[in-house]
Structure 1
Amino acid sequence: MTPQPLPADPEVTDALAREHGLTDDEYARVQEVLGRVPTYTELGVYSVMWSEHCSYKNSIALLKTLPRDGERLLAAAGDENAGLVDIGGGLACAFKIESHNHPSAVEPYQGAATGVGGIQRDIFTMGARPIASLNSLRFGSLDSPRVRFLFDGVVRGIGGYGNSFGVPTVGGEVVFDASYEGNPLVNAMSVGVVKAGETVSATAEGVGNPVYIVGSATGRDGIHGATFASEEISEDSDAKRPNVQVGDPFTEKLLLEASLEAIATGAVVGMQDMGAAGITCSSSEMSEKGGVGMDLQLDRTPQREAGMTPYELLLSESQERMLVVVERGREAEIEAVFDKWDLHAVQIGEVTDTERVRVFWHGDLVVDVPAESLVLGGGAPVYHRETQRPGYLDATRAWDATDLADLLPTSAETGAGTAGGALVALMGAPNVASKRWVFQQYDHEVRTNTVAGPGPTDAAVVRLKGTTPPAADGPGGAGSPGGAERGLAMTTDCNGRYVYLNPRRGARIAVAEAARNVVCAGGEPLAVTNCLNFGNPYKPEVYWQFTEAVGGLGDACRALGTPVTGGNVSFYNESPDERGGTRAVFPTPTIGMVGLVDDVAAHTTTAAWAAPGDRLLLVSPAAWWHTGGVEASEYLAHVHGTTAGDAPHLDLDEEKAVQAAVLAAIRAGLVRSAHDVADGGLAVSLAESAVFSGLGAEVALPALDARLDAVLFGEAQSRVVLSVAPDDAQSVRALCAEHGAQATPIGTVTDGPLQVTVGAEPALSVPVADLARPYETAIPDAMAAPEARGGPAV
């Protein structure tokens, strides 16, 4: 067929390069690399590959300082599409988290849906089968109709794609704060399992091997999506809806099965998802990694729209597509697999020895660039930005709690200004309240391996079907005769308020809390993936936050033995403010963590109390169980409308001792429930366990030289509340002491109200039903407003 004539390309000029997001220095560097002025299509290629989203040009130097080594790691950070850790028994866990913030801000349903789809492909391109999804979501105040619309669309998008794809959404977090008003954060995580040694790398090898595009046809959706993700949200962002990809979960399900079947043939040399920057990214990264080149016949690409140009085909981010390098002579095997699943599998090129990506259009050469010049860690620019400590920290650190009226103790009243009233108010705070409205829209039971899903557990737990616990003589052994199975605990965590007030310590706390949650669910923390959400890196104060936070992540990961397997950086999370400028979100380095549960039947632990009469123990560092005040707390933010002070105290050695003690007690079979002390402090931790179980408690805290609101609602770290059988309390206390922690008896589970005394004086007494009511209704009531729903149909 005679090709249709293409429209004439615009003349490539300095001004056009700037419109593509390249600086003058970067455009000069492109010309130096090529030895000439780039073609229009080549300009597009460099603009997306050197965008922040693809090149990490403002973050890679700092990311390389994170700990990336560990005895369980099977792939170095950044080497593959996702992290890979050994979980024993001949199995490996692949996991990763990524952002889809900007697309979700302008098209919440599809932005969130394609975020879910993209992260799943990162897992199964390695040969791993996804077994669970998680997410971390952040929005502005639910008082805003626009926020309710975004929240509704994002949640429906996650459910619409994930439920159809058939992988359970088992956990995550949802946070509301005014800082995210115009720029929501939508971070998606996927966890998969593969037999060790049976993974596939995103590498092109073997000169002469054919290169295939498989999956869906290519359209115009998502063109310059990577560039869009590398700029601030503005009033013009709605015009960029075409930059948002459109997902098809049913096609993705076919692609999953076809990809795993193709990998099983042994004919696949390398495979990479076509995510950001589409064919451009996958072809250049695979070539550079293998030290080879590619010649691509772009006109062979299956297209779903007429008249597409080489520029559009190379930059399209149409979903559900892979680039696959196949062993020469085995093309028919691969084509048969994808034909069986009714998917495209078209050879569009071959591997060369040129180390260049060359693209042909009906025989004409339209792109000829060195692969190495395009990629992260290769020829893409690397910057070290200016830093400056933010001026706002002077004001936040100067805040003094003495200006705040302390709470009044009460035994029956729960009105304003009383401890009971504050607790009821906090149980209805959107950041504390039940997220049932969210997770009831997700299928978290599909595939029947979910042991502990969303709700009364600090981390989700998923069964590894067919496995057995490790034998006493080492990992991966034959296991116990009881035939119990191992599992994975997984969570996402970050308190952006802490990071805003103290970036280094706040980032440390994000890692520590993720690990603490995994431990409370019965798992041993293994490794982390991260999604680093920050503002504009060209602003010195933002880059100072980023630098400090990365340092804090490294500190905590080294101390807790949880290396970083990879992840994602999302800059430019800013939106217009009322003064005509822009405002960044709270710096939010979201942590995704996985841990190993030796025996899911015996060790999976929830936060719900088991029975009246059980004893409550507060596990804390050996030197203290309460320290600090209400600064940086959810109580201060929700009840008093103030974000101020410093992030809570954290000593990583103390944290490690507490986690070791709790895990040892769980593995010894001595723990009936475990719940960490986090948002809302000790009182909220107790109240949540009461609501989860329908039981109350009589809690007696010793007299302290501290404010009542700090004792009840302060968020000092490294604390976990355990419930244990009466006969086991002393054993748990002894075990904690052996690990350098303490277990302080604080009360007994009852079938009455939640009662707390401090120094023998009544502090609060609230019926469990009065705690459950705001906890369960706060978010559904907010979302009942008619303007909340809207956007694309499910």
Structure 2
Amino acid sequence: MHSLDTVKHAEQTPGTELPWAELGLKEDEYERIRDILGRRPTGAELAMYSVMWSEHCSYKSSKVHLKQFSEKAPRSDAMLVGIGEQAGVVDVGQGYAVTFKVESHNHPSYVEPHQGAATGIGGIVRDIIAMGARPVAVMDPLRFGAADHPDTRRVLPGVVSGIGGYGNCLGLPNIGGEVVFDSCYQGNPLVNALCVGVMKHEDIHLAKASGTGNKVVLYGARTGGDGIGGASILASETFDDSKPSKRPAVQVGDPFQEKLLIECTLEAFRERLVVGIQDLGAAGLSCATSELASNGSGGMHIELDTVPLRDSSLSPEEILMSESQERMCAVVEPDKVDRFLAICEKWDVTATVIGEVTDGDRLGIYWHGEQIVDVPPRTVAHDGPVLQRPYARPDWQDALQADDPAALPRPRTGDELRAATLALVGSPNQAAKSWVTDQYDRYVLGDTVLAQPEDGGMIRIDAESGLGVALATDGNGRYAKLDPYAGAQLALAESYRNVATTGATPLAVTDCLNFGSPEDPAAMWQFAEACRGLADACQALGTPVTGGNVSLYNQTGDAAIHPTPVVGVLGVIDDVARRTPMAFADEGHLLYLLGDTREELGGSAWSQVAHGHLGGLPPAVDLERERLLGEILVAASRDGMADAAHDLSDGGLVQALAESCLKGGKGARIVVPDGQDPFVFLFSESQGRAVVAIPRSEEVRFNDMCGARGLPATRIGVVDGDELEIQGQFTIPLAELRETHERTIPALLA
């Protein structure tokens, strides 16, 4: 190729071969680029299209299914900014708005666990800043391979140190998340990261470049060779150790630079200096310039040679594809540029005017005066391929669902039930995760009200009134493997329930959809079913999807991960002083089980721990029951009727009891209701249930409320003593329960 492949040179050399296949493009996609441009692309144009049309950036396989989140969206007065922006924004009252989003950084975190996870946190935080908000908290839903696999000892500590190191340096509390182990994630850990930010309504900013003559300012870190095509290319193909081309340098994060970037950006916002803004994440400058231009009212002219570099040997193509971290792009009116640059200088942030908004409809990029890009920006940013991938219910699905756990041997005697309880509570997925969460600062900034291991994290956003928000993330890949439609609904139901358990009213949803290769019809069927299930459930619960992320190609060779839709729910609480914690802390409080318990053990923690079994159907979904339970839990919190509450999910009632007893340091005496099988009572994973601790003075009022609304409420025991006693079956001292619950993770990672 010509040493500088200009637009003029491309027009004169139509036969020049370009490495489109190596950049992940298909032949028909390359031909379409030629049709759009009326000529062959330049090397720089090819670089831009290749990263922006990658699966990770263009959603080409998922777009057709994601449409349902808009088409079926419930009407919501709270929604201020919906799908399509960098993050969704909801109204939480008193003039406050909250923005939140979850994204994946899966493949980079396998290649380089610490940096992959750290830059995942950095990227999601910049999405939140770019909306005009101050970030106030992060969360991290994580999935790793088998707990006892040697590679888990490499990946997990690296991921945790990356998340903790980056978040702690930014001064952001980590208030929730999950840690799940399953051999299906062995070569494909899932590192999902959520951030939430707060602003006033009038401070919302969008990614658009409007106003001819306005300047384009690149600010933050200098551009380097790290992460060239990183997330965009790495996350867009099946993972394979043997292909060096699929292991580009993972981006390197600098949290101190990001902290300066946050303060610098927020000060510029306060002074109303910014017309439009975009963070530089996947696809770097290719994304920022094409997105800003296509969302604005005109074109854009960029002088690429003015971009500040860490490595002077980078080619124009590499500069456009670099995913170096801690960078943002702002559109600023000419008379405000000097003030914007002065604020950047004050915060020691490098800032450079690299171009301006033009009155045309083209994105023109120049290198030392020569034009190397001349494209319609929408074709890069928004009009990428839309694929109707074939999908089909896999032929093994029927046999999987027919393999019901009812046939498995189950504990019958008190001694067997005791042993099964200890095995469950000490299993890697049900054991205490304090080895992980103790590496995160959960209380920095002083506004954390609830954090792990509570059902939901809660942050106070107004000190005077006590206004706050609660967040939870959930997703059970075992349920989704058994039935992806129901599995996605169960993920939403659990997240919704967790938020309501804290006393907050669920408002809105963000999702991170982690699946196998879209080229596999079975994985694509799982994805299509999960989207349909989640969209239907959001409609039923009145919680719109505000945005999120799709992560495909999570498989090694032919082995895909379990379909893992992770659902984050945000709720609002008028006064955080009324929150409901999970701890049983007061002797004599009465314990009530809300909801119905049936024999539902498909995909259950018991079947996994006791038998290594996955089969049958997941628990039934009843969204009306979830909504009713949520209303009861919120009312009980608001009116001071419940002093503690804990939702029932993985591990059933016995796991919830163990966790609430250990958190409060108080035991419980439990009576198995007449006619109920003790094993089913303790280990079933029926949904729409919670256990609550009620002061005796509130029992009549609480029962009246549940009765009036038609929610089954069964008194099952009392908070008492220093052991968990299931009367007539077994007793476990809290000291033994705690030792079993807390030793597992440290022992695995020792």
CA distance in 2, matches of 1:400, 1:28: 50
1:42 equivalent to 2:45? Answer: yes
Distance (whole Å) between structure 2 residues aligned to residue 716 and residue 131 of structure 1: 34
Cα deviation digits, residues 392-426 of structure 1 (max 9, x gap): 2122111133432221221xx4xxxx000000011
Q: Give the whole-Å Cα distance in 2 for the aligned partners of 1:442 and 1:15.
A: 47
Corresponding residue number in structure 1 for 2:225: 220
2:479 matched residue in structure 1: 498
Aligned to 1:433: 431
Q: What one-letter code is carried by the residue in structure 1 that aligns with 2:462?
A: K
Report the alpha carbon displacement of residue 632 of structure 1 after superposing the two structures with TM. Answer: 1.1
CA distance in 1, matches of 2:121, 2:338: 31
**Distance change in 2, residues 1:695/1:705 (3 Å):** closer
Residue 243 of structure 1: how far off its partner (Å): 3.2
Mapping of 1:506-585 within 5 angstroms?
506-576=487-557, 582-585=558-561
Which residue, out of 104, 108, 121, partners 1:103?
A: 108
Shift of 1:6: 6.0
In the alignment, is the contact (CA less than 8 A) between 1:130 and 1:193 conserved in 2? Answer: yes
Contact 1:628–1:649 (CA under 8 A) maintained in structure 2: no
1:16 is paired with a residue of what secondary structure? coil
**Distance apart, 1:15 and its partner CA:** 7.1
Q: Deviations over 1:534-591 (max 9, x none)?
A: 0111111111100110111112111111100000000000013xxxxx2111111111
* Alpha-carbon distance, 1:710 to partner: 2.6
Q: Is residue 2:33 matched to residue 1:30?
A: yes
- After TM superposition, give the deviation of residue 700 of structure 1 in Å: 1.1
- Find the partner of 2:583 among 586, 608, 611: 608
Q: Deviations over 1:268-325 (max 9, x none)?
A: 1001001011111011011111132111000000011022111011110000111110
Could you tell me how far apart the structure 1 residues matched to 2:348 and 2:438 are? 33
> Which stretch shifts more, 122-131 or 10-19?
10-19
Q: How does 1:160-171 map to 2 (within 5 A)?
A: 160-171=165-176
What is the DSSP-based 3-state SS (H/G/I as helix, E as strand, rest coil) of the residue aligned with 2:21? helix
- Deviation track 1:214-237 (CA, whole Å, cap 9, x = no partner) reads 111100111111011111111236
Unaligned runs of 5+ in 2: none
Q: Which residue identity is paired with 2:401?
A: R
> Is 1:522–1:605's contact at 8 Å kept on the other side of the alignment?
yes
Map of 1:77 onto structure 2: 83
- CA distance in 1 between counterparts of 2:556 and 2:735 reads 40
Instruction: State whether residues 233 and 246 of structure 2, in contact with CA within 8 Å, keep that contact through their aligned partners in structure 1.
Output: no
In 1, the alpha carbon distance for the partners of 2:331 and 2:640 equals 50
Identity in percent: 46
Contact 1:662 1:736 in 2 (8 A): no
Matched residue SS, 2:68: coil
Could you say which residue in structure 1 is the equivalent of 2:250?
244
Match of 2:646 in 1: 675
| Whole-angstrom CA distance in 2 between matches of 1:31 and 1:165 | 44
1:165-564 paired onto structure 2 within 5 Å: 165-225=170-230, 226-236=232-242, 240-376=246-382, 379-410=383-414, 413=415, 418-455=416-453, 457-468=454-465, 485-564=466-545
| Distance change (3 Å), C-alpha of 1:13 and 1:584 | farther
> What do the CA deviations read for 1:676-734 (whole angstroms, capped 9, x no partner)?
1111011111111111122211111223365x433211100000000011121221111
1:76-108 deviation line (CA, Å, top 9, x unaligned): 211x21110001111100111100001001000
Q: Secondary structure at the match of 1:243?
A: coil
Q: Does 1:754 align with 2:729?
A: no
Q: CA RMSD in A?
A: 1.7
TM-fit CA distance, 1:42: 1.1
Deviates more, 1:235-244 or 1:711-720: 235-244
- Equivalent position amino acid for 1:521 in 2: T
2: CA distance between counterparts of 1:408 and 1:310?
A: 70
Aligned partners of 1:563, 1:235: CA distance in 2, in Å?
Answer: 39
Is contact 1:62–1:547 with CA below 8 Å preserved after alignment?
yes
Give the alignment's TM-score, normalised by structure 1. 0.91
Matches within 5 A, 1:611-630: 611-620=586-595, 625-630=596-601
Q: Is the 1:522–1:604 contact (alpha carbons within 8 Å) kept by the matching residues of 2?
A: yes
Are the counterparts in 2 of residues 228 and 243 from structure 1 also a CA contact under 8 Å?
no
Inter-CA distance 517–230: structure 2 relative to 1 (3 Å threshold): same
Q: Aligned match of 2:22 in 19, 30, 48? A: 19
Alpha-carbon distance in 1 for matches of 2:712, 2:637: 15
**Runs of 5+ unmatched residues, structure 1:** 469-484, 577-581, 785-794
TM superposition shift of 1:619: 1.0
Partners of 2:220 and 2:709 in 1: CA distance: 53
**What is the deviation of 1:14?**
6.7
1:107 touches 1:241 (CA, 8 Å); kept in 2? Answer: no
TM-score w.r.t. length of structure 2? 0.96
Q: State the Cα distance separating 1:737 from its structure 2 match.
A: 2.2
Q: Secondary structure at the match of 2:540?
A: helix
| Contact 2:540–2:623 under 8 Å retained in 1 | yes
Q: Which residue of 1 aligns with 2:685?
A: 715
CA contact (8 A) 2:601 2:685 kept: yes
Q: Would the aligned equivalents of 1:433 and 1:778 in 2 still touch at CA under 8 Å?
A: yes
740, 743, 746: which is aligned to 1:777? Answer: 743
AA matched with 1:101: N
Equivalent pair of 1:449/1:465 in contact (CA under 8 Å): no
CA distance in 2, matches of 1:565, 1:285: 19
CA deviation after TM superposition for structure 1 residue 239, in Å: 6.6
Change (3 A) 1:140 1:38: same
DSSP-derived class of the 1:671 partner: coil
User: Does the CA contact (< 8 Å) of 1:106 and 1:237 recur in 2?
Assistant: no
> How much does 1:189 deviate?
0.3
Distance 2:381 2:31 in 1: 17
Whether the 8 Å contact between 1:48 and 1:277 is mirrored in structure 2 is yes
* Alignment partner of 1:112 is 2:117: yes
* Residue identity opposite 2:584 in structure 1: W
Aligned counterparts of 2:651 and 2:406: Cα–Cα separation in 1 = 20
Whole-angstrom CA distance in 2 between matches of 1:14 and 1:728: 78
CA-CA distance at 1:238 after TM superposition? 6.7
Give the corresponding residue for 1:788.
none
Maintained 8 Å contact 1:105/1:184? yes
Instruction: Supply the distance in 2 between the matched residues of 1:390 and 1:649 (Cα, whole angstroms).
Output: 21
Q: Secondary structure at the match of 2:580?
A: coil
